[in-house]
A and B are shown apart, each in its own frame.
Chain A
């Protein structure tokens, strides 16, 4: 009840015209599928859906996942001190509360921010990152923030591979790439799928980071589904419509979750 309650409430509200103020705040009425019909014809939906896919695909499935795996593999070979320093730096971004990380990322990418100062120092032109390339900025920020999780999962998984297996492969003359492709990755397949599921669901729900950095702008160029749901429900006071957007988001999460769970089952020998 504790877990399902808010979800069920949101789902119920999405069929009403509940509002933050005005007549409908007092007596929300049942309006059936009106909110969903309106959502389907809303030009914001395809835009927002596309941006959400880009954000999840770019920053979680590709960015965090691949970077995390690469770091985990490299750290096994690196010297102990190097591995410790890199590990601390990566985990530091993850340890920060989301709001602090978001402000740090804002300060880094903003007009007078660190990145522009570095570029200026190198004699390169300055760019208004949050204005000209808002998606690039939030993708990089989310990769920076979330890679530690994937890295930790993969390090643990790689450590679990029995030494004999790797040794046997070495005896058979397998090179570094071959060992990774034919031994390590198949053996940690379960961890990969679990990790993908967790970071996908986590990234689908990212709100604070985007809100602080761009607030969905400029001209809605970074309005992902969570930002859209917030704008509709709280800025425009249309709670019914906002929860309809949120319900779509939940649905996407469920679809992704189901797909991964299926993959996980298949990956079991």
Chain B
């Protein structure tokens, strides 16, 4: 009897404690918006943007607190952490920073709030570039994310290194062969210089495909994905050619050593040491490159404006349109489970107003997607290359942003790794890629071209 009594009182006590823990009725007019985004040592522009948007927003909306929760991670890890947070309504953020190529699959997963009704009442929406708006579309045609900026990719070369090797600048390679000829010339004149680098391998992740392999592949007659048929391309001769080109670069030691290429931090050396110190002729990189070198960047380099040049990456044999670029970019989105959709959208609109967009596009060397920012003289004069990299938009391509894409991209990265390490021939690696793709999406969703 006594034991039973104790037991009952224990339950009663537990009940009391639990009641005390359960949330009290929400106090009037105190709402919190949770904002999740990426911040790293070399990427603080977004943090600055949100700090300023928070001040503006809190001043205009009394009783609303904006809780900024930056995630310190690289792109891959940020994506994973964000996806894990989005899985549960209790951890999902109200507003977050979202990679354009994940928008579609995250819409499929039901993580993103459809913004169409909010956008209708937002007059600024008309100032966004039509092409850039497409980055936020879901498969149903609705808009789920608003772009912060976009980017392009091209060849960044050190004029001094090229001139020292007797190459005339501005350098404008027309074909893949032009690149090899110039790289060999640089190698012959100074063996200690890395003539022409292109990323390869799994360590550099999306960098390997966006800043290297796709520039090659999309300049051949082949493609990665048949967007009309919604099928992945296998058996493509251009795929093998692209791998063979990388193999030539690495075998002839025209690029960095394979061991260096497989270090995830290789890009830091390229931006921080090799290009500024004249130890590298050229590399394929994004339009955001100046953000590292300009004042306040992680690798400040006062002379980059004079020493560096930009060229479009050529097509394989110089065929039309004469150049290749890849574009990505990031957006802001609202969580599907947010309790305050109106406030969340309002915060998003504040963060992307003309003033904040302008400051962010300049600080992170992004290509503006708002016409009123693109027309701003401060933006146009932000770095000497704004015009060059903006022109590349004409020849740019986007990744096929399907849910299968991350795995396909990894298969491409593995193929490039196998080739530069000498583990497989380009033909073998391409055949293994075909097998991998069929395994990932199923034979029915592939097409031989």
Contact = CB atoms under 8 A, between A and B. Distances in A.
Contacts of B421: 218-219
Contacts of B262: 131, 217-218
B87 to A, nearest CB: 7
Given A131-B259, A217-B201, 4 more contacts: A23-B108, A25-B111, A26-B109, A132-B259
7 contacts: A19-B403, A20-B83, A131-B259, A217-B201, A217-B202, A218-B201, A236-B410
B430 to A, nearest CB: 16
B105 A21 contact: yes
A22 B76 contact: no
A237 B105 CA distance: 11
Interface of A: 19-26, 111, 128, 131-132, 215, 217-220, 234-238
A194 to B, nearest CB: 36
Interface in B365-415: 403, 406-407, 410, 414
Interface in B106-134: 106, 108-111
A22 B201 contact: no
A24 B83 CA distance: 13
Interface residues of B, number: 30
A196 to B, nearest CB: 35
A235 B418 contact: no
B80 interface: yes
Nearest to B409: A236
A110 to B, nearest CB: 8
Given A131-B259, A218-B421, A25 B406 contact: no
B258 A131 contact: yes
A35 B407 CA distance: 16
Contact of A21 (B109, B263, B264, B418): B109
A111 B257 CA distance: 12
B330 to A, nearest CB: 16
A237 B83 contact: yes
A218 B83 contact: no
B313 to A, nearest CB: 26
B407 to A, nearest CB: 5
B80 A219 contact: no
B111 A21 contact: yes
A49 to B, nearest CB: 19
A218 B250 CA distance: 16
A128 B259 contact: yes
A238 B439 CA distance: 14
A217 B263 CA distance: 10
B11 to A, nearest CB: 18
A26 B263 CA distance: 35
B410 A235 contact: yes
Contacts of A111: 259-260, 263
A234 B407 CA distance: 11
Contacts of A236: 406-407, 410
B269 to A, nearest CB: 11
B259 to A, nearest CB: 4
Contacts of B264: 215
A26 B109 CA distance: 5
Contacts of B14: none
